[in-house]
Chains A and B, each alone.
Chain A
Amino acid sequence: MKINIKTITYSGLLLLTTLTACKKSYLETNPYDSVSLSIAITSESDLKNALNGAYAGMRSYLGFGRYLPAKGDIMADNVYCSVSNTGRQNTTYNLYTFTPSSGEHTSIWPNLYTVIKRCNQVISANLTASANVNEYKGEAYAMRALCYLELVRNFAYPYSKDPNDMGVPIVTDFFSSDIKPARATIAANYTQILADLTQAYTLMSGYVSNGYLSKYAAQAIKARVYMDMGDWANAKTAALDVVQNGGFTLAPSSSYVSFWAGQNAPIATKVESIFALVNDATANNGNESLSYLYYQLGSYGDYLVTNSLYQAYTATDVRRNLIQPTTRAGYSVYASVKYPNSTATNKDNVQVLRYSETLLILAEAYYNTSDPVNALLYLNKVATQRDPSFVGYVSTGTQIREDILNEKRKELAFEGNRYWDLYRLQRSFTKVIEQNLGTSMPVSLPTTKGSRFPIPQAEIDANPNIKQNPEYQ
């Protein structure tokens, strides 16, 4: 009997103690989808995955995936927002009304710095150098350069206005969660970008597909950067290197339209595209994608093509087939079909660097370095390829530059390019707000308010060292 009491009492106490004893491991649980940062990158494949993470951030619609390329056309003279729209960027981009506290533009800043953080992680990874490690780090350098270029373009005045004006903060260290950096000058930003591109060019040697940044992609970015800076000698060198050594070609005019329809998978043929962000069957922007803004069938189709752009093409220009007359909100309108895969399994990739852009930069570089013959040569390489009936430009003087810009507008329409040509040249134009209602407004870049974005209020609030662009104060 005594045993019974004791047994039960002691077993109770034993129970308490055993449970207490196993406590240590009982209180350890591990996440199923993440590893501790301290052991995150210990091999080449870890590095590759971290680099993929950076590309994924770049693909996001908050930046290169939509907000950035959309701006380049709708804030210029190529595109307007339909009267029937889903409110996407209508009240901001289409009307040039921006506030620091809200709107799509406030997401661009954190998105680009998030990609920069991921690039910084790849660049700073403590792995023994190898061909792969160099390649991955080179891609990260090039990607970081692209991010900084978009930051300084969007949030600062053009380099051509005053290189010593406020640019954006430069962050190149990884794991620095307590920093509060001030804005560097525009010149310092461009210096940093060029340094990254030189690193990228040096480190990279291989080529996989247009889904990844590559040696000559870095060089093509460099040409764009020198173009912004008005450093045409260097722009020419960089662009010429791509043209002569990159191995890229333009598509024959007969297959130009089908090239775009096929741009929902990466290509390794080096035709047309130098670098595009891949929207595959599962990792894509869904209904927030760029194609949803343009394509009318089964997507939003808020963005329509201005009459002036449509009329800029000749009837024999193959590029005009990428714009189709249709009806929207009761009006006869023009809509872009450059991105026809919004409802396909694989979604449209977003073009970031195209070979024709490099050719046209090269043409403009020759023009600006007093070589009109070569300027027309490279301009016509693009122009005659697109319009088989066209004999080529024969202009002289400043008309050459206007022809280059006009060709660039037609060539890179809906790819987010147009605004930046107008911006660096500080041009004025008429912005169509709604073609069918006949509403428009005059824009002078960069003085019209809205030409550069406000620094997001969230950054101003968290970082006392940052200064707002004065027109938003």
Chain B
Amino acid sequence: MVCVMFPLTKFAPAIIKNQIMRKIVTMLLCAVLAVSQLAAQNRTVRGKVTDDKGAAIANASIVVKGSTTGTTSAADGTFSITVPSSAKTLVITSLNFGEQQVSIANKSNVTVSLEPVAANLQEVVVVGYGTQRKATITSAQTKVGGDKVENVPLASVDQILQGKVAGLQSITSSGQPGANQSVRIRGIGSLTASAQPLYVVDGVAINQGDLSRTNTTSNALAGINPDDIDRIDVLKDAAAVAIYGARGANGVIVITTKRGKAGKTQIVASGEVGSNTFTNAPPNSRPLHAADWLMLAREGLVNAGIAPATVTSTLHSYGDTSNVDTDWFGLLTRNGTQQQYNVSASGGDEKTTFYASGGYFNQEASLIASDTKRFSGALSLRHKATQRLLFDLSLSASYQNQNSPLGGSSFSNPVMEIYFLRPTQKAFNDDGTPNISRVGNLNFQSGVTHNPMYTLYKNIYNTRITQAKPNFLAEYTILDGLKFSSRYGIDYNNLEEFQYWNPNNGDGYAYNGYGFATYTRYFLSDWTNQLNYHTTFLKGDLTTDLKVGYEALSSKYYGMTESANNYSTDKLTALSNASVYASATNNGSDYTFASEFASGNFGYKNKYILSGTYRRDGSSRFGPNNKYGNFYSVGASWNISEENFLKDVKWISLLKVRGSYGTSGNAEIGNYTATALQVSGYNYNAGAGTAYETIGNETLTWEKSKQTDIGLEVGVLNNRLNLVFDWYNRVGDGLLYAAPVSQTTGFSSKTANIGALQNQGIELTLNATPVSIKNFEWNISANLTHNTNKITRLPNNNADIISGLFRLRVGEDFRTFYTYQWAGVNPANGDPLWYADEAKTTTTNDYTKAVKIKQGSASPKYYGGFSNSFTYKQFGITADFTYNFGNYSYDAWGNYFTDGLYALSYGKYASNLRRWTTPGQVTDVPKYVYNTTNKSNSTSTRYLYSGDYIRLRNLEIFYNADKALTSKLKMNSLRFYVRGTNLWTKIYDQNLPFDPEQGVNGSSNLTIFMSKSVTVGLKIGL
């Protein structure tokens, strides 16, 4: 019965005045339809679809007007369609061509010639809550196609985006497979709240980032197989993000997963294998060999004035005659395996299409005990129930099994052990078993250091993440141009973390074994209902798109933690083998958003476009005095190339200027920070305890952002050269800052909306095809971002804030290092020197007289990527580089590994070999004195390095089999490739002791080294 509704509405406007007439017509139509279907009085029409030059067009859609009957053209443009005898007209459409209607009355063979439409006018891009023709866009946004993110040996898509999108910085700080990634779009927009963009996957604003609790790092996005991604749209300016209101200020990354296409079922299978090794070992920070370490230890003790006999006995106890020389670096790094296999099938008919995939990803880091495996699957079904009703159902799910050893300051951090362990500590006993003796300096005394060759093999640091994203969309066309859609999506994350510390060596020794089991669940549901209306006025010259909707989003966190120690055996690891229960807690944390949104887009003759958006957001996170926020944007663009005076200028294919202004917010302010709270858990003597520890601020609300953008898009020589330029000014206000309060209050700070920041910059994207001749093509794509960050307001009348190594000062970059200025080493006596005045005229060897001086920033001034690809016949080579310039990194751990203060405790950097030894010697490393009190290794610019680098992120050499071969093999396509990741890195500060990628704050934290991967892969289309 449903079928009859559609003819009715189709003709409804014409017969609206006459109800009787309507009924008759409806009945007639019903009858006709019924008869035509039942009696099957069909006929066949054949034809061919070509372009204006007569070349065949494959995959064009041919549909009987007013019905769902249709087919697609074959590779040679031909088609054959069985139509009801009543059918009068065929509608033919194809991507990048204008629609054509041909009459088939009394014809059984037709030839249709389609007029090409400029690609840039036809292309559809993803915008907030929908899609839009690119020509009518007024916003700054960048698309990354799915082909750019597939088969890359990186676990999560955010990592792959690095260097690919102007304005987007994707910063890795750990080589742990599946590590969390920091993404900043157009600079850092927050002082203390999250500066991460919002991720929207198939219309659902997901929970992103590191959802784990005891694990060192994890990444919710790593649950999405990049191979299942159809496209990524990075929304940057206000016109694009304001419709996301209180959550759009840091930019929005919209991920659209793959859907099937009508036609022959396509099966694609791909596989790659390879290995991961450590990127590079900076010579400056290489751990010392035993002989050098002992030589320095002796020198340090002698310089400290220790009695010769004591020096001798001390060195003896530290192994000067032991012949032990352990290469901890070599023992803890490895060649890790890299594997990835994906298979997908897609296809369907005009009514129903599907996409199904399965994937396996396995990456072992270049450090032992660090790896991740992912199993993923996706299924989507798209069904046109009727011409007006469409269902889209999808379900993607994945399971990640990740091992990530403890990081940071934990003594069992293997990277820390590489540097902390002395080369004279014995890794293995003479019989080859790992050495876990605790007596003497050649062994692993007390609880300080562990033998990682034992603990990393016995301990467990595991996280299993199950993720599912069911998504249901129904779209109903009420009237021509008026569509109602309802989308309900779930983002489900379930994390089971488990740690086991063995009882024999390491952290678990003191407890006779320790186990920690953590369960975490995030359930997010996002329901969006919206009306879209598209219509035209002025004979089609004025196009109007209107959108209004309502969204309700709720996220619930649930967590359980239990831990126990004193294991009955070291052969079993489950907590049930432990006899002492140390903790058992459960907790939750929720947030909700309820939002209304609207947008309008008006285009006149594709030349003049005006757009506007509005959103009203309410959230459980906002304080009672600031519960709702309103956000809006306006944008305009002028497609100059559509003007008559440019129409004839053939070499200009695109010239467009656009501008936008609008507001948005950042709601990452914490779920319950607005209210003053008495918090449980401050227990004493087995009695429950509470304390007033959440200071609260009832006016707390979202951070406000205002952004202006002016863009210019140029395409010349039929888009052989394409240039996009944007200037932006992003002003954040009411930024959260934990303003320091007098500690006599019992608090150290109070979070309030007090700061303001400005990010101003330019983005440049260039795509060019310098050479395109028979058999050979050269493509270039490059992007550059120059961002200038400036603090414009701070609490307490703009008083400077010293925050760790940074100084926050109005007018300066937010991540400006501010520390003591190292002045080198006094050649006369080897003393460390610092500058005693800001003008750097006098030096001092007394650290307390040194002054702090403004340094560079941890944020780069310039960043981006460039890529060259060459194809010759079936062969090709692609090289993608990423770079950033103008930033600095601090070696936060260098104080332990330089100079004599800890001469006997820890391993040392090779740079100590340059220490001062004789008067007159000019060097940058002071005299080596055991337990020195001269503070030579205290915080100063001595440990600050330039973070400039260019990195060959990706080098791929590929071969695409030609048709002759593929048809012989009965395949659609065949691709073979060799890919290198991070093969080459150019750094500009030769003393840099670590990888140039050290996170947003440019501070090293002994994280797992970046991997250099080489993989070979094969991709087959059937």
Whether A associates with B in a native complex is yes
Q: Is A8 an interface residue (CB 8 A)?
A: yes
Q: Say whether B458 faces chain A, with CB atoms less than 8 Å apart.
A: no
Interface residues of B in 529-550 (CB under 8 A from A): 529, 531, 550
Q: Are A299 and B741 in contact (CB under 8 A)?
A: no
From known contacts A97-B935, A278-B685, infer whether A8 and B476 are also in contact, taking CB-CB under 8 Å. yes
Shortest distance from the beta carbon of B647 to any chain A beta carbon, whole Å: 42
CB–CB B550/A109 < 8 A: no
Q: Taking the complex as formed, is B104 at the interface, i.e. its CB lies under 8 A from any CB of chain A? A: no
B694 touches A180 (CB 8 A): no
Give complex CA distance A202, B441 in Å. 56
How far does the alpha carbon of A467 sit from the alpha carbon of B741 in the complex, in Å? 16
The residues of A that contact B675 with a CB separation of less than 8 Å are 31, 36-37
Chain A residues near B678: list those with CB within 8 A. Answer: 34-37, 40-41, 50
Contact A29 B620 (CB under 8 A): yes
Q: Which of B304, B550, B696 contacts A20 (CB 8 A)?
A: B550
Enumerate chain B residues within 8 angstroms of A387, measured Cβ to Cβ.
none
The yes or no answer to A66 lying at the interface (CB within 8 A) is no
Query: Contact at B684–A283, with CB atoms within 8 Å?
Result: yes
A282-B583, A283-B683, A345-B580 known; A29+B591 contact, CB < 8 A: yes
- Does B8 sit within 8 A of A, measured CB to CB? yes
B445: chain A residues within 8 A (beta carbon): 84, 328-329
Report the minimal beta-carbon distance from A439 to chain B, rounded to whole angstroms: 7
Check: B18 CB closer than 8 A to any chain A CB: no
- List residues of A (43-68) whose CB comes within 8 Å of B's CBs: 46, 48-57, 59
Interface residues of B (CB under 8 A from A): 4-5, 8-9, 22, 26, 301, 304-307, 310, 313-314, 316-318, 439-441, 445-448, 476, 478, 484, 486, 509-512, 527, 529, 531, 550, 552, 554, 566, 580, 582-583, 587-592, 594, 596, 618-620, 627, 671-672, 675-692, 694-696, 740-748, 750, 801-802, 848, 896, 901-902, 904-905, 930-931, 933, 935
CB 8 Å contact bits of A9-30 with B (1 = contact, 0 = none): 1001001100110010011111
Which residues of the partner chain A approach B740 to less than 8 Å between Cβ atoms? Answer: 458, 461-462
Asked if B310 and A23 make an inter-chain contact with CB atoms under 8 angstroms apart, the answer reads no
Q: Does A301 contact B (CB under 8 A)?
A: yes
Q: Which residues of A from 177 to 199 have beta carbons under 8 Å from B?
A: 177-181
Nearest Cβ in chain A — how far from B659, in angstroms?
32
Q: Check if B743 sits within 8 Å of A95, measured CB to CB.
A: no
A134 CB, nearest partner CB in chain B, Å: 18
Pair A437/B314 contact, Cβ less than 8 Å: yes
B318 touching A87, Cβ below 8 Å: no
Chain A, interface size category, equals 35 or more
Which of A111-119, A244-252, A366-374 is near enough to bind chain B?
Answer: A111-119
Chain A residues 450-473 with CB under 8 Å of chain B are 456-459, 461-463, 466
Q: Confirm or deny: A292 has a beta carbon within 8 angstroms of a beta carbon on chain B.
A: yes
Taking a contact as CB atoms under 8 Å apart, the answer to whether B446 and A301 are in contact is yes
| 18 further A-B pairs in the complex, CB-CB below 8 A; given A56-B689, A282-B686 | A16-B550, A19-B529, A26-B594, A31-B672, A37-B678, A52-B687, A52-B690, A57-B691, A59-B684, A84-B904, A84-B905, A95-B931, A97-B933, A109-B743, A179-B742, A287-B510, A328-B445, A457-B802
CA distance A179 to B744 in the complex (A): 8
Q: Is the C-beta of A4 less than 8 angstroms from some C-beta in chain B? A: yes
Question: A26 with B554: in contact, given A118-B691, A439-B306 (CB under 8 Å)?
Answer: yes
The answer to whether residues A33 and B679 also contact, given A329-B904, A462-B743 and a CB cut-off of 8 A, is yes
Take A52-B688, A117-B692 as given contacts and tell me if A300 and B746 are in contact as well, using a CB distance cutoff of 8 Å. no
Q: What are the residues of chain B within 8 A of A28 when measuring CB–CB?
A: 620
Does B742 contact A463, Cβ atoms closer than 8 Å?
yes
19 pairs from A and B in contact (CB 8 Å cutoff): A5-B5, A8-B476, A16-B550, A19-B529, A26-B592, A56-B683, A83-B314, A84-B445, A95-B933, A97-B935, A116-B746, A171-B745, A281-B580, A298-B447, A330-B314, A330-B441, A437-B930, A439-B305, A461-B740
Q: Smallest distance from the beta carbon of B83 to chain A beta carbons, Å?
A: 26
Q: Does A429 contact B (CB under 8 A)?
A: no
Docked-complex contact A15 and B676, CB < 8 angstroms: no
Nearest chain A residue, comparing its CB with the CB of B507: A287
Closest approach, in angstroms, between the C-beta of A214 and any C-beta of chain B?
A: 14
Cα(A439)–Cα(B303), bound, Å: 12
Q: A9-B478, A283-B683 are contacts. A459–B743 as well, Cβ < 8 Å? A: yes
A312 nearest CB across to chain B (Å): 24
Against B, the Cβ 8 Å flags (1 = close, 0 = not) of A276-298 are 00101111000100001000101
Q: CB distance B590 to A329 under 8 Å?
A: no
Contact partner of B5 among A1, A38, A120, CB < 8 A? A1
How long is the Cα–Cα vector from A5 to B477 in the complex, in angstroms?
10
Residues of B within 8 A of A345 (CB): 566, 580
- Smallest CB-CB separation from B318: which chain A residue? A330
Docked CA distance A462–B741 (Å): 5
Q: Is A356 an interface residue (CB 8 A)?
A: no
Q: In the bound complex, how far is the Cα of B64 from the Cα of A187, in angstroms?
A: 98
With the chains together, A404 CA to B247 CA distance in Å? 68
Q: Which residues on B sit within 8 Å (CB–CB) of A176?
A: 745
Question: A437 to chain B: closest CB distance in Å?
Answer: 5
Whether A444 is near chain B, meaning CB under 8 Å from some CB there, is: no
Instruction: Tell me, in angstroms, the Cα distance from A16 to B594 when the chains sit together.
Output: 11
Are B745 and A179 interface neighbours, CB within 8 A?
yes
In the assembled complex, which residues on chain A have CB atoms less than 8 Å from the CB atom of B694?
34
- Interface residue A69 (Cβ < 8 Å from any Cβ of B): no
**Smallest beta-carbon distance B26→chain A, Å:** 6
A282 and B683 in contact, given A55-B689, A458-B740 (Cβ under 8 angstroms): yes
Contact (Cβ within 8 A) B448 A300: yes
**Distance in angstroms between the alpha carbons of A237 and B307 in the assembled complex:** 52
B535: min CB distance to chain A, Å: 17
What is the CA–CA distance of A171 and B743 in the complex, to the nearest angstrom?
A: 11
A177 to B692, CA, bound (A): 12
User: B484, B512, B554, B746 — which one has the most chain A CB atoms within 10 A of its CB?
Assistant: B746
